[in-house]
Structure 1
Amino acid sequence: MSKSLKASRTLSKTVIYAVCIFLSLLSVFPFWVMFMNATRGTFEIQQNSVGLFPSKYLLSNLKILSNKSFNATTGFFNSMIISSGATLCAVYFSSLTAYALVAYSWKMRQPFFTFIMAVLMIPAQVSSIGFYKFMYQINLTNNFLPLILPAIASPAMVFFMRQYLMGNLSLDIINSARIDGAGELYTFNTIILPIMKPAVATQAIFTFVLSWNNLFLPLILLTDSDKYTMPIMVSLLRGDIYKTEYGSVYLGLTLTVLPLFVIYFMLSKYIIAGVSLGAIKE
């Protein structure tokens, strides 16, 4: 009986591992094809759009890319400023708002949280026209600030941070810090933020990727080519009406995606720590 049970468990583990490996390969496959197509020529891609092995046209694709409106250095620098600024603003102020909703007891706390959830239901596209008109009236078009400062108001992140704090924050820690004479901001910055590190890292990845890939708002706010982000530059890689250099397009996409991989691998261990922390029961 024990041998059959052991064999059944071994078979179950084998099936689980096989499914996980298959799903992992399925997730990596599109990125691998993109990387390989960045080294292939336009004719090769048109003949066979799925290439599993590198080719010899990487340098020629890079040369074609440099002759177009794509400036990888400028686009990377602009996207990094916007994405980093938006991520820092969103993570810090959302954590601070969630802390106020959990640690303090005040009369309008529940209506305030309800209002935040109501704002979450409004699509960003609905307010985009009014937002652009407002930015135009105060002369903030062709400026990075309209793409950074609105990240301070992030209802979804406030909800996530609040739920995390409700399950992991003990109010006795805050009371002890107050008895010791610590200020509220000092308590938040030195005690609460380290507790929220897994949640902060998780939301930082999502916010950075969302801001980095954002095309709609930068496209309507930024008209100066020196302020173009990477997604805008990639969207302009269309070639003329007769021919599109697909190899250079894939190379531009590859250069756009690479920073996201770096950010993910830098912060992924905190996501794993957060999942492990959530799995531990007292």
Structure 2
Amino acid sequence: MVYPLVWMIMSTFKESGEIFKTAARLIPDTFTLENYKTGWQGFAGYGFGIFFKNSFIIAGISTIGAVFSSAVVAFGFARCNFKLKGFWFACMLVAMMLPFQMIMIPQYIMFNKMGWVGSYLPIIVPQFFGQGFFIFLDIQFMKGIPRDLDEAARMDGCSIYGIFARIILPLVKPALVTSAIFSFMWRWDDFLSPLIYLNDPMKYPVSYALKMFSDPTVGSDWGAMFAMATLSLIPIFLIFVTMQKYLVEGIASTGIKG
């Protein structure tokens, strides 16, 4: 499982023309950092620093929107009573199960009529209306929180918004961090959405920019592509290392323990 990743990383230190000639060997004959230099320069005058910045903007804003909006919706399902609650919960589950390919064309038509195509709006704005998986995860956590805490907060004069902000959110921190990790990772790795909606190289994220190194008609710069792909793994790796405790707790737990 790890070998392809190790092979890619070691290939970044080989000369581009030697990568597949010496594919059977992990250790390059001559170490070189030229692939990183060439890759960072990017293409057509656009350096890879721009693409990394774009990816952080898309993934960062989308993660904030997805985590907060999902927590709000989950709180409504877990703690509030309203008409057709079961129906809307079923709709949420059905929407979560739909593959993106089924709604891809209707969404494009809708966003195109709104004049959003060519911008980050079709990629970022939908994240601010809740994500099914995160809503379901937050609901399971909130259901494990004793309702006595809500009643005690109400007796102290706390409103429904105060209960959500002061009681619920701190107790579902593992679920929120887990949602943030998955959301950031999915948006960082997303290739299809930028391919559909973005047409300006200045706005490309890393996931889409990596494709620009591949040109079957002329030749692909595999060394530069592998080098930038290796750098693109660093943010995800750091997030997993620093947030591993919350990730495990968020997935393994379904509520607080007393």
TM-score normalised over the length of structure 1: 0.82
Q: Deviations over 1:20-72 (max 9, x none)?
A: xxxxxx4x433322221111112331123355346522235422551524622
Q: Is the 8 A contact 1:72 1:255 kept in 2?
A: no
Structure 2 CA distance for aligned equivalents of residues 280 and 106 of structure 1: 25
Please state how far the C-alpha of 1:164 moved relative to its aligned partner: 2.2
- Structure 1 alignment gaps of length 5 or more: 1-25
Structure 2 CA distance for aligned equivalents of residues 191 and 64 of structure 1: 48
What is the DSSP-based 3-state SS (H/G/I as helix, E as strand, rest coil) of the residue aligned with 1:139?
A: coil
Q: Which has the larger radius of gyration?
A: 1
Structure 2 partner of 1:57: 32
Please state how far the C-alpha of 1:275 moved relative to its aligned partner: 5.9
Query: Aligned runs of 1:20-35 on 2, under 5 Å?
Result: 26=1, 28-35=2-9
Structure 2 CA distance for aligned equivalents of residues 50 and 32 of structure 1: 12
Structure 1 partner of 2:166: 190
Structure 2 partner of 1:155: 132
Structure 2 CA distance for aligned equivalents of residues 216 and 132 of structure 1: 12
Counterpart AA for 2:6: W
Structure 2 CA distance for aligned equivalents of residues 206 and 185 of structure 1: 26
Structure 2 partner of 1:217: 193
The match for 1:95 among 71, 91, 97 is 71
Counterpart check, 1:44 vs 2:18: yes
Structure 2 CA distance for aligned equivalents of residues 265 and 84 of structure 1: 18
Counterpart AA for 1:163: Q
Q: Is the 8 A contact 2:67 2:180 kept in 1?
A: yes
Structure 2 partner of 1:251: 227
Count of matched residue positions in the alignment of Structure 1 and Structure 2: 255
Q: Deviations over 1:117-152 (max 9, x none)?
A: 121232211221121122222211221121111112
Structure 1 CA distance for aligned equivalents of residues 255 and 110 of structure 2: 46
Instruction: Give 1 or 2: higher helix fraction.
Output: 1
RMSD of Structure 2 on Structure 1 (CA): 2.3
Counterpart check, 1:169 vs 2:169: no
Q: Is the 8 A contact 2:213 2:225 kept in 1?
A: yes
TM-score normalised over the length of structure 2: 0.89
Relative to structure 2, which stretch is displaced further, 216-225 or 238-247? 238-247
Structure 2 partner of 1:119: 95
Q: Is the 8 A contact 1:37 1:51 kept in 2?
A: no
Report % sequence identity: 27
Please state how far the C-alpha of 1:222 moved relative to its aligned partner: 0.7
Relative to structure 2, which stretch is displaced further, 67-76 or 85-94? 67-76
Runs of 4+ in 1 over 4 A off after TM superposition: 275-282
CA gap of 1:53–1:82, structure 2 versus 1, over 3 A, is: same
The match for 1:68 among 43, 46, 52 is 43
